[in-house]
Amino acid sequence: MDRDEIIRLLATTDADEVRALLKAADQTRRRLVGDEVYLRGIIEFSNHCVRNCRYCGLRRGNKALRRYRIPDDEVLDLAARVRDAGIGTVVLQAGEDPAHTAEYICRLVRRIKDATGLTITLSIGERSYGDYRAFKASGADRYLLKHETADPELYRRLHPDSDYDNRIRCLKWLKELGYETGAGNMVGLPGQTLATLADDILLMRELDIDMIGIGPFIPHPDTPLKNAAVGDLGLVLKVIAVTRLVTGNTNIPATTALGALDPEIRLGALASGANVVMPDFTPAHYKQHYEIYPGRSRVSSDIREVLAGLEKDLAGINLCIGQGSGGRRNRSDG
């Protein structure tokens, strides 16, 4: 599928063609990655961040946000809850926190790996090659670093203190070091076009990204983009579907952002090519302050309730919860 064809599919408003697109993505998902939906338990262990991204509620310029860091022993207890829930992967997610030195992260990863045996995913932003190498040596298996947009000029406008080339360089380093690597983009960013979205999809294919997170842009009231429109959910589903067709056997989450806007749309994503769900194990008294976008705290913190509801919903679309860590299938399949 080339750029022009991707743009055409993303632009279509013909109901029959949209249904055919989503169905084709669902069939491709079934053929290449199966009918299991894999779970990753998220722990948002710090909301401190040195970056000032114009869309994110964690931006350092947001003085209204109450900051926190979850103590190490509590993070370890939360990781044990992930394991005890039968989930094979824990995701340690945070802003770019200056307190998180390489030594600190390595120690935390080792403790969790030794205590739980879980597959460990880090999502803590841009670091040096040496840091990434040290994290891998300490037991980290995967790394999530969304590229956000493949348009360098749009990236610059959204990230006034970041560099697009360095973001791509970091993703290449992660692949080189053997991480199962995640990237992804937002749909509906101010200034984004369908051509930009097509470039996002092609970039992730070019980089051979293993896990692709695609969600709607949701404006945060304490950011410069507070008056922007929410990303179109129908377009999000089309982007997920085309990404499945283009990238084949990648893991694609039905993101938390979709669930925050509309739980039914998140289920729709799982029927349109997505195959991963990421339950949030962050305790409610912390999660209410990890507000990258508004509405996250409305998602239930009762994990038993969340998993029971998910299992029931999946049965309704002929899917089931997968066992184990759910790594990317053999790349030759895609």
> Is the pLDDT higher at 329 or at 219?
219
CATH 1.20.1560.10 fits 3-320, yes or no: no
43 pLDDT exceeds 80? yes
* Residue 32 and residue 334 in contact, taking contact as beta carbons nearer than 8 Å: yes
265 pLDDT exceeds 70? yes
Q: Give the mean pLDDT of the chain.
A: 95
334 pLDDT exceeds 70? no
Q: Which of 151-165, 191-205, 257-271 is the least confident region?
A: 257-271
333 pLDDT exceeds 60? no
Rounded distance between C-alpha atoms, residue 241 and residue 255, angstroms:
14
Kindly state the DSSP code that residue 332 receives in the 8-state scheme: G
pLDDT at residue 17, rounded to an integer: 98
Residues 6+ apart with CB under 8 A from 104: none
Residue 266 CA, distance from chain mean position: 13
| pTM of the predicted model as reported, rounded to 2 decimal places | 0.95
Paired tokens of 97: 């926190």
pLDDT in tens, 96-152: 999 999 999 999 999 999 999 999 999 999 999 999 999 999 999 999 999 999 999
Looking at residues 152-171, what average pLDDT do you find?
97
**Which pLDDT band holds residue 303 (cuts at 50, 70, 90)?**
confident
The letter for the amino acid at 145 is L
pLDDT at residue 146, rounded to an integer: 97
pLDDT at residue 256, rounded to an integer: 84
Residue of 105, 99, 101 whose CA lies nearest to 122: 105
Residue 216 CA, distance from chain mean position: 11
